[in-house]
């Protein structure tokens, strides 16, 4: 049972390039989330999807787009990468989006923008 | 005021010591509370949920004080393997939304030395 799988694990981009971070979960969870974690800032929510077919902005959505491709997969896209988007990105899932249940995390994508 | 606040530490304790972390939250309507553990350069992992009556899991005890809006984590008989960052997590319902979501504190760093 893999849980939450993120790809790639590491990526280096140049300013202005685009890329998509992939996330898949095999726990049949309804809700999925994308966070970024920067030193001293803690986890900040970028976007979330409470259920298949819905997506909502979190605290820091600017510069990102998401797609809930199906129940299993939730991707995060950077259309034009900027150095300020250098961070560690975590995808998470939970059974429901009510916030009453814990979230399970993937092992992260370390992204550097030069 | 941030939704969830923690003392960032670091806490440096010898093996066998008892250490306690506190966390305060801003929303009195919050329903769910968790402690997560995050090892260096790894993903956050659920340590334990926090129940109204307080709960214990081996050497770990979590307590909730709704009146004062804080939760605590007590670790007894500290082990070297307890060295990590401990994240306080609270569910908060966004204004105008029927859904709540989890807010993560910035974490308290613990180092247990031999």
Residue contact B43–A42, C-beta within 8 A = no
Average the pLDDT over A62-77 and give the result: 96
How sure is the predictor about A101, in pLDDT bands with cuts at 50, 70 and 90? confident
**Share of chain B residues as helix, strand and coil, in percent rounded to the nearest 5:** 5, 55, 40
- Residue B57, burial from CB neighbour count under 10 angstroms (0-12, 13-18, 19+): exposed
Average the pLDDT over A82-97 and give the result: 93
Q: What's the token pair of residue B17? A: 């010591």
pLDDT digits (tens, 9 = 90+) for A53-69: 899 999 899 999 999 98
**Please, what is the average pLDDT of chain A?**
93
Residue contact B99–A98, C-beta within 8 A = yes
Residue contact A99–B91, C-beta within 8 A = yes
Paired sense of beta strands B11-14 and B108-113, if any: parallel
Residue A51 has pLDDT above 80, yes or no: yes
Q: Which of residues 57-96 of B touch A (CB under 8 A)?
A: 87, 89, 91-93
Q: Check CB contact of B54 with chain A, cutoff 8 Å.
A: no
Query: Please, how many CA atoms are within 13 Å of residue A58, restricted to the half-sphere of its CB?
Result: 24
DSSP state at residue B94: P
Of B38, B44, B101, B106, nearest in space to A105 by CA: B44
- Which residues in A lie closer than 8 A to residue B106 (C-beta atoms)? 40-42
- Which residues in A lie closer than 8 A to residue B99 (C-beta atoms)? 50, 97-99
Shortest Cα distance from B93 to chain A (angstroms)? 8
pLDDT digits (tens, 9 = 90+) for B78-105: 999 999 999 999 987 766 665 677 889 9
- Lowest-confidence pick of A76-85, B22-31, B53-62: B22-31
Residue B66 has pLDDT above 70, yes or no: yes
pLDDT digits (tens, 9 = 90+) for B13-46: 999 999 999 999 988 888 889 999 999 989 999 9
> Three-state SS for A84?
helix
Alpha-carbon gap, residue A10 to A17, rounded angstroms: 15
Q: Are B86 and B112 spatial neighbours (Cβ–Cβ below 8 Å)?
A: no
Phi and psi angles of residue B81, each rounded to the nearest 5 degrees, phi first: -70, -10
Residue contact A107–B42, C-beta within 8 A = yes
Neighbours of B18 (CB within 10 A): 12
Q: Check CB contact of B52 with chain A, cutoff 8 Å.
A: no
- Among the partner-chain residues A42, A97, A106, the one whose CB lies closest to the CB of B99 is A97
- Which residues in A lie closer than 8 A to residue B43 (C-beta atoms)? 90, 105-108
- Reported for B102-105, long-range contacts at CB under 8 A and 24+ positions apart, including other chains, are B102/A99, B102/A102, B102/A103, B102/B32, B102/B34, B103/B3, B103/B4, B103/B25, B104/A35, B104/A42, B104/A43, B104/B4, B104/B36, B104/B44, B105/A42, B105/B4, B105/B5, B105/B6, B105/B23
DSSP string for B46-79: EEEEE-TT-EEETTEEEEEETTTTEEEEEE-S--
């Amino acid at each position: 049972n893999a849980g939450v799988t993120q790809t790639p694990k590491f990526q280096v981009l140049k300013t202005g390039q685009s890329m998509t971070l992939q996330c898949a979960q095999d726990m049949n969870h309804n809700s999925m989330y994308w966070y970024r974690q920067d030193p001293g800032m803690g986890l900040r929510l970028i976007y979330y999807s409470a259920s298949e077919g819905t997506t909502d902005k979190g605290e820091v959505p600017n510069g990102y787009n998401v797609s809930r491709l199906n129940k299993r997969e939730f991707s995060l896209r950077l259309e034009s990468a900027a150095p300020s988007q250098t961070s560690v990105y975590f995808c998470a899932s939970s059974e429901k989006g009510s916030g009453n249940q814990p979230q399970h995390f993937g092992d992260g994508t370390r992204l550097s923008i030069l | 005021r941030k939704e969830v606040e923690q003392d960032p530490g670091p806490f440096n304790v010898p093996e066998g010591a008892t250490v306690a972390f506190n966390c305060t939250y801003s929303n009195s309507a919050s329903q769910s509370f968790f402690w997560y553990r995050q090892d260096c350069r790894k993903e956050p992992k659920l340590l334990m949920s926090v129940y109204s009556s307080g709960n214990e899991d081996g050497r770990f005890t979590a307590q909730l004080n709704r009146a004062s809006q804080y939760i605590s984590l007590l670790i007894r008989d500290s082990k070297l393997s307890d060295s990590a960052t401990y994240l306080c997590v609270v569910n908060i319902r966004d204004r105008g939304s029927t859904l709540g979501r989890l807010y993560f504190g910035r974490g308290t760093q613990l180092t247990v030395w031999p």
